[in-house]
Structure 1
Amino acid sequence: MTPRARTQSAPASTTDRARGALLGLAIGDALGMPTQSLPREGIEDRYGTVEGFLDGAADQPIAPGMPAGSITDDTEQALIVARLTIAGEGIVDGHEFAAALIAWEQDMIARGSLDLLGPSTRSALATLQAGAPLEETGRYGTTNGAAMRIAPVGIAHRPGPGLVEAVVAASRVTHNTGLGISGAAAIAAAVSAGIDGADTDEALEMAHSAALEGHTRGHWVAGGSIPARFAAHRDHVRALDPASAATYLYDVVGTSVQSQESVVAALLLVDRGRLAPFDTLCTAASLGGDTDTVAAMAGAVLGAVHGPGAFPDAVLRQVLEVNDLDLDPLVRQLLAVRHTSTTTR
């Protein structure tokens, strides 16, 4: 069994919480790597409950044979967003982002990976390459691709109108819909609030408010409201025992790639995970469905609220070493953008 997180002796600093957001995203992503796109029953039969990093099995549909602790598209694309956010002094350029995503997928293909662009992103980029204007390319993007990679925008901006505008800019090319933007705004706002020192309830309140604002942006598409679904399920999920809560998340809330399912599931896991963040990410990885993305989104928020101390030392070392990650320069530069955007408003 993986050792549990160490106990923190002092509150995490702003830098620690920003680093925790990226680490939590990577840890959740890597925990869900071997179980992604599998039904819950199949995960239970093969693994029981995920308790730590696992190798991708030979028959894993997306990540066959990947070593334990490996990240997937969630973290890799979030790092692209981080670099473009820094380059754009807080705002992601849509055309540069599209080019970076196309280059990323070509690199993945060259490496023989099956972990490629999601359906909304691929469709949007094809539309852009066919000559459509940027404002139209993401008009049908309702999946969680924008939300899974948005954490760096939350690090670079404090909660407020500027954050939502930055989320729109980072989402527009692939997920320019109320659902896509609402989901991304919820995750970014919760991360941003956590970095400011918010506790779980405060971070989720910010997520709810930002999701409401995000729902009014972009193109309208039919689908249940993310903030309304979160509010409707929250008290019930809080009252359930762990096994019943996992069943409810999978069967009722949903863990598909659709934002109104997976983003809501991630936020509900954050609500339940305030006392045991790492165990909560293991639960997310065990749910079935889009496990790597649900766990990555929940991990980003939990890491922002609690800092790296939310996760065991051995887990932190493994995810950094396996993926050769050096997050500290990105954290420093994202926080520099955050400071600049705050002091210049």
Structure 2
Amino acid sequence: MALIACNPQVLLERARGALLGLAVGDALGAPAENMKPSEIRRRWGRIEGFVTDDPAGTDDTEYAIFSGLLLARHGSALTVAHVETAWHHWIADLDEGPFRGAGFSERGTLENLRRGLAAPISAQHRHAWSDGLAMRAAPFGVFAAGRPAEAARLVAVDGCVSHDGEGIYGGQAVAAGVAAAMAGGSTASVTAAALSVIPSDSWTARSLRRAVAAAQRDGLRPGSDPLAVEHAVRSAVVIGGYPWTDLAPEAVGLAFGAFVAARGDFTTSVLTAVNMGRDADTTAAVAGALAGAMSGEASIPADWGSAIGPVRGSCLPSMQGYHVLDIAELLTPDDDIEVMP
């Protein structure tokens, strides 16, 4: 397959779409986190926009900024030592502060780092399979636009401090998918890129394939019932009765399923993810990053995008004041690059 040239203006538009899309999805999904679809319907009917007067991102957005800053500093030379040092400098060695909303994987990692353990031992905790890497993986796809394998390699370097196994695979699938979307890929090529960088027999790959198959079979079309589509995708991957909603294989499957069911449309992608519940902020953040990278910032409803301000540091105080669009600028090259379409 031939390489094509992509100019900085196009890449920046897609980079802004990817990271603003992540933050919008995170803020839309946050109120529905850990809910069942039936609970969402009882409370709000169907979520069609922000359901709070003061929408804001969660740890998903703040950790994505953290990883984006780290990647902007080191680029392709990023090492596990760089990541571990950053965790200490920006998080573990500071007073804990509010740290609201942090996932179990992040808390387990911090406990291990504060005990003096180093990577990869720092990732040996009970939630190494969580979606905590997947939620912060989009910046790697932005940086490695058109290079899914490189995006997957770099996000695995980041993930060695906090995740293992399926947790790493989830981050790699998201990073590779965003990298393909940044190059203008279709939903099919984005999915193929995600699957190409993880073991085909992994739980993450199986969940992703099942979700995408359900989305393609029952995808949203004129006159189709969104609830039926969401039920089909959700049923394809969710383990009924399992109490934890932060499983990387589940969250990544739901996010890609929403993205494919919506045929990459931004609004439909994130709302499909939100209304399926479970770890709704993360699934909507990932779906938003994929759709935003594919179609750019212009695909995000203006009122949704304008509601996203600099992060508040509610989870990571050291990230307070940064905006995802600033990170998009830092990660976008200044010159034309060649990407794989």
Q: Does TM, normalized by the shorter one, top 0.5?
A: yes
CA contact (8 A) 2:259 2:265 kept: no
Q: 1:47-88, CA deviations, whole angstroms, 9 ceiling, x for partnerless residues?
A: 011010111xxxxxxxxxxx4321111011100111111112
Matched, 1:26 2:13: no
TM-score (norm 2): 0.81
Separation (CA, whole Å) in 1 of partners of 2:287 and 2:94: 24
Q: Report the equivalent of 2:41.
A: 44
Q: Report the equivalent of 1:238.
A: 216
Alignment CA distance shift 1:322-1:153 (3 Å): closer
Matched, 1:280 2:280: no
SS of the residue 1:194 aligns to: helix
CA contact (8 A) 2:169 2:198 kept: yes
CA contact (8 A) 1:157 1:337 kept: no
Separation (CA, whole Å) in 2 of partners of 1:254 and 1:302: 22
Separation (CA, whole Å) in 2 of partners of 1:229 and 1:265: 8
Q: Report the equivalent of 2:114.
A: 129
Separation (CA, whole Å) in 2 of partners of 1:97 and 1:139: 19
Q: Report the equivalent of 1:166.
A: 154
Q: What is the 5 A alignment of 1:8-157?
A: 13-55=10-52, 67-90=53-76, 91=78, 93-99=82-88, 100-102=90-92, 106-109=96-99, 114-115=100-101, 117-140=102-125, 141-157=128-144
4+ residue stretches of structure 1 with deviation over 4 A?
321-325, 337-340
Most deviating of 43-52 and 150-159 = 150-159
Separation (CA, whole Å) in 1 of partners of 2:74 and 2:32: 35
Q: 1:106-126, CA deviations, whole angstroms, 9 ceiling, x for partnerless residues?
A: 2334xxxx42x2112211221
% same residue: 27
State the shift of 1:228 in Å.
Answer: 2.3
Aligned length: 305
Alignment CA distance shift 1:156-1:259 (3 Å): same
TM-score (norm 1): 0.80
Q: What is the 5 A alignment of 1:210-249?
A: 210-212=197-199, 225-240=203-218, 241-249=225-233
Separation (CA, whole Å) in 1 of partners of 2:183 and 2:94: 32
Higher helix share: 1
Matched, 1:304 2:293: yes
Query: Which amino acid letter does the alignment assign opposite residue 75 of structure 2?
Result: E
Q: Which runs of 5+ in 1 are unaligned?
A: 1-11, 56-66, 216-223
Query: Which amino acid letter does the alignment assign opposite residue 119 of structure 1?
Result: F
RMSD: 2.7
Query: Which amino acid letter does the alignment assign opposite residue 185 of structure 2?
Result: A
Q: 1:129-151, CA deviations, whole angstroms, 9 ceiling, x for partnerless residues?
A: 22223121113400000010111
State the shift of 1:94 in Å.
Answer: 2.3
Q: Which runs of 5+ in 2 are unaligned?
A: 1-8, 219-224, 240-244, 313-320
State the shift of 1:173 in Å.
Answer: 0.6
Separation (CA, whole Å) in 2 of partners of 1:338 and 1:293: 32
State the shift of 1:245 in Å.
Answer: 2.1
Separation (CA, whole Å) in 2 of partners of 1:197 and 1:51: 27
Question: Which of 268, 284, 292 is 2:257 aligned to?
Answer: 268
Alignment CA distance shift 1:228-1:203 (3 Å): same
Separation (CA, whole Å) in 1 of partners of 2:177 and 2:274: 20
Q: Report the equivalent of 1:258.
A: 247
Q: 1:277-314, CA deviations, whole angstroms, 9 ceiling, x for partnerless residues?
A: 21221221122211000000111111001111222111
Separation (CA, whole Å) in 1 of partners of 2:210 and 2:234: 16
SS of the residue 1:49 aligns to: coil
